[in-house]
Amino acid sequence: MIVVTGAAGFIGSNLVKALNERGEVDVVAVDNLERADKFRNLVDCEISDYLDKRDFLERVQRGDFARPAVVFHHGACSDTMATDGRFMMENNFRYSMQMLQWCQQVDVPLIYASSAAVYGLGPTFVEERPYERPLNIYGYSKFQFDQIVRRALPSLRAPVVGLRYFNVYGPREGHKERMASVAFHHYHQFRREGHVRLFQGSHGYADGEQRRDFIHVDDAIRVILHFWNRPASGIFNVGTGRAQSFNDVALAVINSLREANGQPPLQLKQAASQGTIEYAEFPLELRDRYQAYTQADLARLRNAGYAEPMMTVEQGVAAYVRWLLRHA
């Protein structure tokens, strides 16, 4: 039996699907379906049971939940704009603490979701304490649990892996609404309005040239499964190791949709000159809390034996647009 928390969410549901494709169907899906529309993410997946998060935690605390082979803990509130710190710490930090304690008690590997939000504005994105300065309560909740894990590493009974996801995009994220990826929003904006809107230049970057490490969810899933296949403990960045611009994302979306319509691709200057890409003034209130640049340092991940190449924005976004069109 495998436990996936946050199983109806973005990364969680993609993980359940990937497990199914490996022949794993004894999967207990744990989530909170107060937002009922998330169920759609699991419609094409096979699970052996579904448990509400509260019921799951009660059974764990009573000691009457069977020992699983592994726990993939991806249940969390991922809204970086949320301001309810009490809820965030309970849902992200305390929930993770309970999973850590239980997995150690029953000697089960724990692979959990951390976040690049722990790094704040950067500019160095290495899994070391001096570079971690979260800007919001979401990042802080992830940061604090990572500190607990670090202190526990020397005395662990079972492997614990923290995965610091950078900007993940791809299938099954529609329920995230405003927190869905820029690729998702660009796709829908272009189909609705015929153009994509980006920020004007800021933080020393030209219009639309702010850069982040955008990683397709399929690459993130492959990293997760790597650490299940090759047990290890530690905290690892999960990105491409390549910063690409918002212009790159917008152009990849536009040209993928143009290709689907039998139209030739546009260059960036063409797209900007004809208004296919527009630039809006950068909001002053975001200046001191906006990640204008992120790029995962992958040295630790590569040293842990993960050698697979990561998709570029052009490759990943094209695959994602094709998926969105099939599921429109």
Catalytic residues: 138, 176
Type of residue at 179:
M
67, burial (CB in 10 Å: exposed 0-12, middle 13-18, buried 19+): exposed
Spatial distance between the Cα atoms of 245 and 208, rounded to a whole number of angstroms: 7
Taking the CA atoms of the chain, what radius of gyration do you get in angstroms?
20
Stretch (H or E) spanning 162: strand 160-165
Q: Is the dihedral of CA 57, 59, 64, 69 positive or negative?
A: negative
319: its two tokens: 């695959």
Spatial distance between the Cα atoms of 98 and 39, rounded to a whole number of angstroms: 25
Spatial distance between the Cα atoms of 49 and 104, rounded to a whole number of angstroms: 23
* Cis omega (within 30 of 0) for bond into 123: yes
